[in-house]
Amino acid sequence: MNVIEIGKRARAASRLLARATGQARAGVLFALADHLVDASDAILEANQIDVQQGRRDGLTPAMLDRLTINPSRLAGMAADLRSLALLVDPVGEIFDETVLPNGLQVHKQRVPLGVLGVIYEARPNVTIDVAGLTIKTANVAILRGGSETINTNRVLVKQVQVALSENGLPPDAIQFVDDPDRGRVLELLQLHEYVDMLIPRGGAGLHQYCRENSRIPVITGGIGVCHLYVDETADLEAALTVIQNAKVQRPTVCNALDTVLVHQEIAFEFLAQLVKYLEKDGVIFKADPAAMEALRLSRQDVPASVSPAIEADFNTEWLSLVLGLKVVASMDEAIEHIARHSTGHSDGILTQDQEHAQQFVAEVDSAAVYVNASTRFTDGAQLGLGAEVAISTQRLHARGPMGLRELTTYKWVIHGEYHVRKG
Amino acid sequence: MNVIEIGKRARAASRLLARATGQARAGVLFALADHLVDASDAILEANQIDVQQGRRDGLTPAMLDRLTINPSRLAGMAADLRSLALLVDPVGEIFDETVLPNGLQVHKQRVPLGVLGVIYEARPNVTIDVAGLTIKTANVAILRGGSETINTNRVLVKQVQVALSENGLPPDAIQFVDDPDRGRVLELLQLHEYVDMLIPRGGAGLHQYCRENSRIPVITGGIGVCHLYVDETADLEAALTVIQNAKVQRPTVCNALDTVLVHQEIAFEFLAQLVKYLEKDGVIFKADPAAMEALRLSRQDVPASVSPAIEADFNTEWLSLVLGLKVVASMDEAIEHIARHSTGHSDGILTQDQEHAQQFVAEVDSAAVYVNASTRFTDGAQLGLGAEVAISTQRLHARGPMGLRELTTYKWVIHGEYHVRKG
């Protein structure tokens, strides 16, 4: 099937999904959870074909790990679908109700966004994750997974389509571009007539490609050069644990810490403690000249885990156990550094001073701004959204973790008594 | 100055605007209102140069009218700025406050969108209108007006920049691409590093050009193929006045009516009345075969103002005193017609039946859906927003009239006590 035909079918399915009850949509998720368990033999078998091909193609162990489905991961996917099904349905919610002076009754009503295009890489769990979020919010989706996982995705999408049919909903609500040719991605990016929003889930290259080639609005995000600024009033012992958590707990994700900015008044004392504290976790450090000097003075020699930073280091999303260190003369300098180097994902201050906290929050313009907490909380589940489809670092539509509500739009509904406009 | 340099300056100004008080921003609007009046001689003189050039270039009377500024229009622009200054400031508003089970305090705070790019045609009032909305919401803007109005815009933008400086704000907050070369538009569309949102204000061609060439998120809208469906239970006398208002009051705008769909039970009676009622306003009609037949039967001969519609007529935004007429066998057929032909701007039902109204509202997915009211109310001022920057017919970010709030985004603010993420 060509991509335009897929788009037409998606648009047609979209109208049916928008009319489906919340109960029917949740029913699909419960059914799908059951089918993932029932069909586990077929799923694991297809996944093994992809994994073996991946090995032959020389995928890295990390990529092979992301590609692999095992019975416990499958059970996790099913459990996630069941929790998702139980989240409050945003579709149909009425808000901003008002009666105008002329008597017109006006409100907004939350409706599905329509057709989502989702382009992702070698993680088959995204297929189920996105299908669940899409159906729960009465949207439909066109999925384009990585070619490395095509056999797994075929079987997974089939389960989704069976669950849709069983609940009286069109199987075209979740379609899969089943062609590894990359030309299909470009075709998908042109389908503005049939696709309302594009969500790339992958690295910076994929996001850039989509932004440059798409005629459909793109949600870009998921790239985080994240900062914590340690103010001179911070509780330094507590700061160590927050920085450790932000850097070490899961260094490969976008909300992991990349750079620590330290006020010069405490740099001499704190940097030596920090390096000592994180060295045992295997962290290595890229330090600016002042941080190098502070470490030299406090520890006699610079530890082997520390090397001088080059300017580009402070623009790097490390996704590994590397941490930038920089000494600043003031909070203003820290805020200025963040304005220049942050990707607008997650940045925070550690401080005991309320006024400093207030100024930092007012002036740092990132999707998530923290006072005395780890950047690792920028996550739909952690921030109480229940689920997330992406973390947006752009400014339109939604910013930060995008949950169910962010997969909807609204319409204005106006009731009158044969009202006419005067003037 | 080249467009990249303009972009850089805009980004720098954006950080200063975001920190300015609401009082300072409103102060700019009051000052600008005064300056428009004080500098009226210079403004009218520059405008005359554009108007005379426009005459030489053969602009239509309608275009020349849009281009022209006179003392009363200038006074209107000043008055609008003063009302805008007094609207409630959305910037800084805190919402979605919550305390998570782990004690993290989370809220969202409304912040400016950042840098707006606005591309428009020969209406110099847009320059002041957009400057006012932009400054009120702590955004900054890069304006690209039509070349027909370049002399007027130069003088107007100068007044804006003076008003900014006088209030301690950077004049770069409102910049003007002062070069009639159309290549500058394409350069502006590529500035995704410096521009956060693009608002084209013009015809379908401009919107399409922006969608195809922009790397910046584009707000498309302002194109309305609008419908009213006259249900078999409608109050037909009242329906005539609503249709007249929607079609005749101001036919050249996007929320004006394009097609009337009439239930077959009342078609014989109602269509003849409607044609008779609107003929005296100079409306001419494009009727589908069933409507032609109903008119023939009811009036013996088809009136001269009615001609047979071709299929393309029902996809046309008339922007003039032309009205499509179509008979439908059921409300479902009306909804189906709207789904196929509407641009998703404004569509309504006229009915006395509550259940029909409910079904219509549920199934018609346009930015504004009406029950028993004229489509002409789709307008920021009419719907209580106070002002509007555009009417969006896309689904992301904002739908329908976009007021001050729709020129903002939000950030997540998270306060902890050195919280770390577990698991």
ipTM of the complex: 0.94
A192 shares contact with chain B (CB less than 8 Å): yes
Phi then psi dihedrals of residue A205, to 5 deg:
-60, -45
Q: What is the pLDDT of residues B284-324, one digit of tens each?
A: 999 999 999 999 998 778 889 999 999 999 999 999 999 99
Question: Three-class SS of residue A301?
Answer: coil
| pLDDT for B182 | 87
A400/B411 touch (CB, cutoff 8 Å), yes or no:
yes
The torsion defined by the Cα of A251, A252, A253 and A254, in degrees rounded to 10, comes to 90
Chain A contact set for B369 (CB, 8 A):
411-414
| pLDDT for A23 | 97
CB count, 10 Å around CB of A308?
13
Please report, for residues A12, B119, B182, B391, the alpha-carbon distance to residue B185 in angstroms, rounded to integers and kept in the order given: 36, 8, 5, 22
Statement: residue B12 has pLDDT above 90: yes
| pLDDT for A149 | 94
B396/A395 touch (CB, cutoff 8 Å), yes or no:
no
A-B contacts (CB, under 8 Å):
207
Overall average pLDDT of the A120-124 stretch:
86
B365/A242 touch (CB, cutoff 8 Å), yes or no:
no
CB count, 10 Å around CB of A397?
19
Q: Identify the helix (H) or strand (E) that includes residue B409.
A: strand B408-419
Statement: residue A191 has pLDDT above 90: yes
Name the pLDDT band for B59 (thresholds 50, 70, 90). Answer: very high
CB count, 10 Å around CB of B183?
9
Statement: residue B24 has pLDDT above 80: yes
Overall average pLDDT of the B17-42 stretch:
97
Chain A contact set for B347 (CB, 8 A):
none
Statement: residue B226 has pLDDT above 80: yes
B357/A415 touch (CB, cutoff 8 Å), yes or no:
yes
Statement: residue A299 has pLDDT above 80: no
Contact between B153 and B179 (Cβ < 8 Å): no
Chain B contact set for A104 (CB, 8 A):
373, 377
Q: Which of residues 240-299 of A touch B (CB under 8 A)?
A: 241-242, 244-246, 249
Name the pLDDT band for A246 (thresholds 50, 70, 90). Answer: very high
A395/B409 touch (CB, cutoff 8 Å), yes or no:
yes
Chain B contact set for A100 (CB, 8 A):
382-384
Q: pTM of the prediction?
A: 0.93
Q: Which of residues 222-251 of B touch A (CB under 8 A)?
A: 235, 238-239, 241-242, 244-246, 249
| pLDDT for B48 | 97
Q: Would you state the structure tokens that stand for residue B47, as one six-digit string? A: 């405008």
Name the pLDDT band for B7 (thresholds 50, 70, 90). Answer: very high
Chain A contact set for B418 (CB, 8 A):
235, 238-239, 241-242, 350, 372-373
Chain B contact set for A244 (CB, 8 A):
420
The whole-angstrom distance between A46's CA and the closest CA on chain B is 30
Under CATH, to which class is B3-220+394-414 assigned? alpha beta
Overall average pLDDT of the A272-279 stretch:
96
Overall average pLDDT of the A82-110 stretch:
96
State the pairing for strand pair A174-176/A140-144: parallel
Name the pLDDT band for B75 (thresholds 50, 70, 90). Answer: very high
Amino acid at A151: N
Give the separation between CA A353 and CA A235, rounded to whole angstroms. Answer: 10
| pLDDT for B222 | 82
A411/B378 touch (CB, cutoff 8 Å), yes or no:
no
CATH 3.40.309.10 intervals, chain B: 226-377
Overall average pLDDT of the B38-63 stretch:
95
What is the rounded average pLDDT for all residues in chain A? 95
Amino acid at B19: R
Q: Which residue of B has its CA nearest to A210?
A: B215
| pLDDT for A39 | 97
| pLDDT for A86 | 96
Nearest to B418 among A372, A396, A421 (CB): A372
Burial of B158 by CB count in 10 Å (0-12 exposed, 13-18 middle, 19+ buried)? Answer: middle
B399/A409 touch (CB, cutoff 8 Å), yes or no:
yes
Q: Would you state the structure tokens that stand for residue A179, as one six-digit string? A: 């062609």
Chain B contact set for A409 (CB, 8 A):
395-396, 399
Statement: residue A300 has pLDDT above 90: no
Mutate to test the interface with B, among A14, A94, A353, A419 (most CBs of B within 10 A): A419
Chain B contact set for A19 (CB, 8 A):
362-363
Statement: residue A82 has pLDDT above 90: yes
CATH 3.40.605.10 intervals, chain B: 3-220+394-414
Q: What is the pLDDT of residues B190-209, one digit of tens each?
A: 999 999 999 998 888 888 89
A414/B368 touch (CB, cutoff 8 Å), yes or no:
yes
Q: What is the pLDDT of residues B240-251, one digit of tens each?
A: 999 999 999 999
| pLDDT for A202 | 83
Task: Return the HEC string of A101-150.
Answer: CCCCEEEEEEEECCEEEEEECCCCHHHHHHHHHHHHCCCEEEEECCHHHH
Under CATH, to which class is A226-377 assigned? alpha beta
A215 shares contact with chain B (CB less than 8 Å): yes
Beta bridge partners of A8: none
Overall average pLDDT of the A41-70 stretch:
94
Closest CA to A203 of A61, A342, A64, A63: A63
Give the separation between CA B49 and CA B69, rounded to whole angstroms. Answer: 11
**List of residues 6+ apart from B368 with CB closer than 8 A:** A411, A412, A413, A414, B255, B345, B346, B347, B375, B377, B378, B400
Q: What is the pLDDT of residues A383-418, one digit of tens each?
A: 989 888 999 999 999 999 999 999 999 999 999 999
Cβ-count burial A334-370 (b if 16+ within 10 Å, e if not): bbebbbebbbbbbbbbbbeeeebbebbbbbbbbbbbb
Overall average pLDDT of the B51-76 stretch:
93
State the pairing for strand pair B105-112/B94-99: antiparallel
Chain A contact set for B373 (CB, 8 A):
104, 414-416, 418-420
Contact between B117 and B141 (Cβ < 8 Å): yes
Give the separation between CA A287 and CA A386, rounded to whole angstroms. Answer: 38
Closest CA to A401 of B196, B411, B104: B411
Give the separation between CA A262 and CA A271, rounded to whole angstroms. Answer: 8
Overall average pLDDT of the B80-102 stretch:
96
Closest CA to B420 of A60, A419, A249: A249
| pLDDT for B106 | 98
Nearest to B100 among A241, A246, A384 (CB): A384
